[in-house]
Amino acid sequence: MIGWALRQLAIWGGLGLLLYAVVGNRLSLQPSADATAPPAAASSAAPTGNRTGGAMPNSLVFHANKQGHVVLDGVVNGAPVRFLVDTGATMVVLTMKDAEAAGLGHSDLVFSMRTSTANGVARAAPVKLREVRVGQLSIDEVPAAVAENLGISLLGQSFLTRLDSYEMHDGVLTLSYW
């Protein structure tokens, strides 16, 4: 059992690092979407840009907290959710409490996945979220999971890769979208 868990950890960790390297390399080759965006208060979004003329995408700007983490407020299926932005997470992952608030009851979940988290190996149930909203940005049909033993919901790659770009620079996260 321990050997299986270590093998799964190595496989998923390797895939996560590969995805991180690909996304990081892609972002380093693109110019900043809005390098002059004014700083926003911690955990708040500041929209900029517009779609007219195709000049600039819209941007949301978030500042990291003292621990270097970006924590932001979002909405899942109409319910408020506090997210930790985790570029190393393959997908959006909800806590049991946030999943219930979003209309995903425990009886609706099939825990067919295992995940490796900072809290150890946990069971997870794959789901599809009708809507994930951050500020004015709304993305529909987001693949996600509901995990046991999770302290805060994670905003991972199944959301982030649907954006035009995202960039973390000097403690400021910029999400760019049309």
Q: The CATH number of the domain where 79 resides is what? A: 2.40.70.10
Expressed as residue numbers, the domain containing 125 is: 2-177
pLDDT of 28 reads 40
pLDDT of 56 reads 62
Per the CB < 8 A criterion, the answer to whether 146 and 113 are in contact is no
Distance separating alpha carbons of residues 20 and 87, to the nearest angstrom: 7
pLDDT of 50 reads 46
pLDDT of 121 reads 84
Per the CB < 8 A criterion, the answer to whether 5 and 123 are in contact is no
pLDDT of 40 reads 39
Cα 90–Cα 99–Cα 160 angle in degrees, nearest 5? 30
Number of residues written out for the chain: 178
Distance separating alpha carbons of residues 5 and 16, to the nearest angstrom: 16
The confidence band for 149, taking pLDDT boundaries of 50, 70 and 90, is confident
Distance separating alpha carbons of residues 100 and 112, to the nearest angstrom: 18
| pLDDT, tens digit, 9 for 90 and up, residues 86-142 | 999 999 999 999 999 999 998 989 999 988 776 778 899 999 999 999 999 999 999
pLDDT of 32 reads 39
Q: What sign has the CA pseudo-torsion 40, 91, 159, 99?
A: negative
pTM > 0.75: yes or no:
no
| pLDDT, tens digit, 9 for 90 and up, residues 22-75 | 555 444 444 433 333 333 334 445 554 444 445 567 999 999 999 999 999 999
Which has more confidence, 67 or 4? 67
Q: What's the structural domain count of the chain?
A: 1
**21 pLDDT more than 50:** yes
The set of residues, in sequence order, having a beta carbon less than 8 Å from that of 32 and lying 6+ positions away, is 167, 169, 174
